[in-house]
Amino acid sequence: MMYDFIRAVISVIILISAYFLLKIIRKKFLKKKIMKNEKSRRLLTGSREKAVRKHFAGKILLVLFLYSIILFILVCIPFENLFINFSSPQDVFNYTKQGEIDKIIYGENSCMIYYSSGDSNGITFARKEGAFYKIVPFNRFSDSTQLSAQNRFDHIYTENYTGDTYYSVTIFDKSYDNISEPEESIIITDDFKTQFSFVGSDNHFYTFCAYVEDYSDTYSVNVEFK
């Protein structure tokens, strides 16, 4: 995927630049500190040599610290949002992830994307800005468990840029192993008549999700089986 590839290339460039920068720093430092006068051209020993090494080590730590900050920015801040407008959530997904989209749940100012890649499943988000969509980094949405029972797991996902909240219900039931139409056999309702969409199933686990416009701490859903 282009998102990770671009960051890998930039990281390699920065790492190579940091290597040559350290060489330049070392060369200038030794020239300034060691070759300053006739006497300092001799090999340094004892406390002066330790001081030189300590000072140079500080320069190395500074460069590594700056390198770490740049890497953090690359991972956590999608700079592409400054100059790329994606026309659809699918375009955001194709740029940032690998795999196939299973379901897109649309919110007011964002959307939640369920996808599968090989044997694993995942979620990601896209933020709506006008008529276009923007990348949402992994650290800009939160996941909390609302309910954990023997045969049911509820999760709340919040897209932190917009505040859109999505409610996910995963049900475990072996009696629905061969169910062909889960949306008709498992009914999920709330007080707002929210339409929950079937996302997918995996080994007796059936997941439904919906955007909840008026979510609060007292929000709850009811699950019924036909």
Task: Tell me the percentage of the chain whose pLDDT exceeds 70.
Answer: 81
99 phi-psi bin (left φ>0, alpha ψ -120 to 50, beta other): left
**pLDDT (0 to 100) of residue 216:** 87
* Whether 23 contacts 60, CB under 8 Å: no
First-to-last alpha carbon distance for the chain, in angstroms, is: 42
- CA–CA gap between residue 193 and residue 5 (Å, rounded): 43
- 157: buried, middle or exposed (CB in 10 Å: 19+, 13-18, 0-12)? buried
* Among the ranges given (45-54, 70-79, 97-106, 186-195), the one the predictor scored with the smallest mean pLDDT: 45-54
Q: Is the pLDDT of residue 4 over 50?
A: yes
* Whether 189 contacts 157, CB under 8 Å: no
Q: What is the pLDDT of residues 44-63, one digit of tens each?
A: 455 555 655 666 677 777 77
Q: How confident is the model at residue 152 (pLDDT cuts 50, 70, 90)?
A: confident
Task: Return the closest-CA partner of residue 18 out of 76, 52, 66.
Answer: 66
- The structure's pTM equals 0.76
SS3 46: helix
pLDDT greater at residue 176 or residue 103: 103
Q: Is the pLDDT of residue 155 over 70?
A: yes
